[in-house]
Structure 1
Amino acid sequence: MTSTTRETPTIAELVDAAVDRPLPLRITAYDGSKTGPDSAPRALHIANHRAVSYIATAPGDLGMARAYTTGDLVVEGVHPGDPYDALVDLEELHFRRPDPKLVLDLARVLGLRGLTPPPPPPQEALPRWRRVTEGLRHSFKRDSEAIHHHYDVSNRFYELVLGPSMAYTCAVFPQRDAHLDEAQENKYRLVFDKLGLTASDTLLDIGCGWGGMVRYAARQGVRATGVTLSQEQAEWAQAAIEREGLSDLASVRFDDYRNVTETGFDAISSIGITEHIGVRNYPAYFQWMLDHVKEGGKVLNHCITRPDNRPRSTGAFIDRYIFPDGELTGSGRIITTMQDTGFEVLHEENLREHYALTLTGWNANLVENWDACVAEVGEATAKVWGLYLAGSRRGFERNVVQLHQVLALRLDESRLPQVPLRPWWKS
């Protein structure tokens, strides 16, 4: 009686066994095997054993992001500053439910050690359940740590990616071929006009970033205050205020908005901060706004949303690499909470196509300044950003996420109408 020893499968054979449909791109591996169409313009190269371990022990975007960040998974045919086309290809990649044979084959290739998740790259934040040492979710300390993880990468890096505007929120394009800097200036103009601000009014900008809205308002004669939990942002913004000769009207503080003691602002803008607040904290957040804006004053909330109103945390890649503790829900939930708080909602609009265009511009800046970006933050971090920006662009294009601006008013005791009959701003 004879017995046969089953041969260890190649990496390409494992891929073919795991994939349910024809491969949309070519895949090559360190063992010399390959699969997928030779004519495909793009390819994934599985460079080593660790890449397989990353993908097998963290299926989905997290495992692939780990392997890509470390250089164990190489994307051929795209620039690392803009892997958009490869991400579109990967949308057609569908996996079968693993069967016992595939699991056994994978174990034979990896061995027992390979079935243990390799250490993640240093760019990755701790999982949510291990962040308890930083405090409860959305506590002052934990929010500060989350903001530090993303926004204190390097001011120079942000200058290279965002461009002269240093605006890290959705721009508003007057036409599709407008330059990114023009569109960012147009965004600030739109927010300013919606809030109905005039010279000598007071504005509080919550989560002000590098002070773009604050400086725009000050240039129009408004007394503007910004707060940010990023010390690097605050230092850059305050230096820009002094450089532009706006110190008599504008200031940016390194602080939590909850520590602002002034009240009676003519207007409050919240541009790209609600994503970090937490849906359960919306009532307290909008109540804080109501308490700090004057009667007859307006607030504008500008944030990324879901196309539905179910609160959900961000995906594993975004949570570990980009926005720890980020949470999104739909514009309906935001509007409902603002109304329940006591605001009269005057207007809302969805700008998701504008965000796709904005992200395209940031990817283009990253590609153009790639060598300088790598020199500033390292190749792995620069690759994470290319992946994040391109993936987010695709999300906005496909209505996975949206961007809504909501304009609201704090009524005075009379409850009578206090605004013109029709919108008073140019779209």
Structure 2
Amino acid sequence: MSHTTDEIRTVADLVDEVVVGPLPVRVTAYDGSKTGPDSAPRTIHIANQRAVAYLATAPGDLGMARAYTTGDLVVEGVHPGNPYEALVDLERVHFRRPDPRLLLDLARIVGPRNLAPPPPPPQEAVPRWRRVAEGLRHSYGRDSEAIRHHYDVSNHFYEQVLGPSMTYTCAVFPDHDTGLDEAQEEKYRLVFEKLALRPGDRLLDIGCGWGGMVRYAARRGVRALGVTLSGEQAAWAQVAIAREGLGELAAVRHEDYRHVAETGFDAISSIGITEHIGVRNYPTYFDWMLHHVKPGGLVLNHCITRPENRAKSVGRFIDRYIFPDGELTGSGRIITTMQDNGFEVVHSENLREHYALTLAAWGENLVEHWASCVADVGEGTAKVWGLYLAGSRRGFERNVVQLHQVLAARPVPSRLPQVPLRQWWTS
């Protein structure tokens, strides 16, 4: 639909001007205007002028997240804890570059004063350039602040979303009928067996979360140490270790892995931390691992990856609301860096589909426990989580992101790696 400047007077007219082709959703606005099919299963309601300002001043995922979090943009036809179907709808929306004259129409509708970016919701972290007050990117202080932003929310909230396993990494599903808790146990079993752990061995789990891997290993006679930058995670894990009577074998410390003094571990697991390291720091990270695992020992790196091997920061929504300073690259770059730093890579696999299933299960938990989650963290933060889980699920389904486990050994001079000739863990 095309309009002259004099004709455009409604919010719906502006939407029509920037959208190419038919809308898959119905759009309504506070001024009574509407566009899109009346029969659409979902409606997006632009509730006020601030919503328009958010969308106009931060086009794309950031502006929509701001308006959705504050309640200025309302999605009807989906649960606020799981806007997955609405995100699938919006994938079919294509935008054109707006005519510069559209700014005049926008000023008429929302008023010139409302063309400035409104203050972001309190859930949003400051942009990267303002984080220098916390230190250089991936310094001790800045990494600690980034982890606190996401993980030190509420342990009870995480219990509701993650379920009894309290595991915030990709599960492994033997089949589509497997439940989330069983799939998380299967993930720990897979890591444990890939690392060829035996009773009496020493395991270091970097970025251990709430200690799931540490406790799994300790139950099987392994002396396991976990470290995390989240104080709330460490406190929860220590209570769980004591409750299970694992104190003689298991420990979780609130500590940066770079401060771990112990060396000579039989194995090291790194489950979901490489995303926070920074690609340019991979050589230092894997070199640190090489010098903390014993000769002949195994390390397993489990992390989100990209289908290509260029380093790329996470999108604006993820960076501001979920993982500040997060950065991803492909499995090829991870493998190359491990090899260049002295490791022999013995196995790699992509668990992309498993993470889509994991995120879907977390989304279902959030919906089921919505009232309790809102009571814990507030409706705005709960909505951010719903948006994040649904959007991430689509990312894994569409192969925008992947999940790789890479298994490597610290070579021993003059002899072959002490691993079986063929894959020794069951699939």
Whether TM-score is above 0.5 comes out as: yes
- C-alpha separation in 1, matches of 2:393 and 2:140: 30
CA distance in 2, matches of 1:160, 1:327: 27
Q: Percent identity?
A: 79
Shift of 1:210: 0.1
| 8 A Cα contact 1:218 1:249, kept in partner | yes
2:107 maps to 107
Look up the equivalent residue of 2:267 and give its one-letter code: A
Partner of 2:255: 255
Instruction: Give, in whole Å, the separation in 1 of the partners of 2:134 and 2:119.
Output: 21
**In structure 1, how many angstroms separate the alpha carbons of the residues matched to 2:383 and 2:276?**
24
Structure-2 change in CA distance of 1:204 and 1:5 (3 Å): closer
Coordinate RMSD, CA, aligned = 1.1
**DSSP 3-state at the match of 1:267:** strand
- Which residue is equivalent to 1:71? 71
Secondary structure of the equivalent of 2:291?
helix
Alpha-carbon contact 1:8-1:108 (below 8 Å) kept: no
5+ residue gaps, structure 1: none
The match for 2:311 is 311
Deviation of 1:369 after TM superposition, in Å, equals 0.2
Superposed displacement of residue 416, structure 1: 2.1
Answering whether residue 3 of structure 2 is matched by residue 15 of structure 1, we say: no
The CA distance in 2 between the partners of 1:111 and 1:229, in whole Å, is 45
Residue identity matched to 1:10: T
Find the counterpart in structure 1 of residue 147 from structure 2. Answer: 147
The answer for the alignment partner of 1:354 in structure 2 is 354
Provide Cα deviations, 1:175-227, integer angstroms capped at 9, x if missing partner.
11100000000000000000000000000000000000000000000000000
For 1:167 and 1:8, how far apart are their aligned partners in 2?
51
Could you say which residue in structure 2 is the equivalent of 1:28? 28
Q: Which residue of 2 aligns with 1:51?
A: 51
Q: Residue 185 in 1 paired to residue 162 in 2?
A: no
1:365-404 mapped onto 2 (5 Å cutoff): 365-404=365-404
Shift of 1:241: 0.2
Alpha-carbon displacement from aligned partner over 1:136-184 (angstroms, at most 9, x marks no partner): 0000000000000000010000000000000000000011110000000
Q: Is the 8 A contact 1:51 1:67 kept in 2?
A: yes
Aligned amino acid, residue 339 of structure 1: Q
Deviation at 1:412, TM superposition (A): 1.1
Unaligned runs of 5+ in 2: none
Please state how far the C-alpha of 1:100 moved relative to its aligned partner: 2.2
1:34-53 C-alpha deviation (Å, 9 max, x unpaired): 00001100010000000000
Matched to 1:211, the amino acid is G
Checking the alignment, whether the CA contact within 8 Å between 1:8 and 1:109 is kept in structure 2 is: no
Please report how far the alpha carbon of residue 8 of structure 1 lies from its aligned counterpart in structure 2 after TM superposition: 5.6
Separation in 2, partners of 1:101, 1:144: 46
Q: Distance in 1 between matches of 2:303 and 2:59?
A: 30
- Pair 61,261 (structure 1): closer, same or farther in 2 beyond 3 Å: same
Counterpart secondary structure, 1:384: helix
Letter in 2 for 1:17: E
- Structure-1 separation of matches of 2:120 and 2:50: 11
**After TM superposition, what 4+ stretches of structure 1 lie above 4 angstroms from structure 2?**
none
CA contact (8 A) 2:5 2:101 kept: no
After TM superposition, list the pairs within 5 Å mapping 1:205-354 onto structure 2: 205-354=205-354
Give the TM-score of the pair, scaled to structure 1.
0.98
Secondary structure at 1:100's aligned position in 2?
Answer: coil
SS of 2:294 mapped into structure 1: strand
Q: TM-score, normalised by structure 2?
A: 0.98
The residue correspondences of 1:151-170 to structure 2 (distance < 5 A) are 151-170=151-170
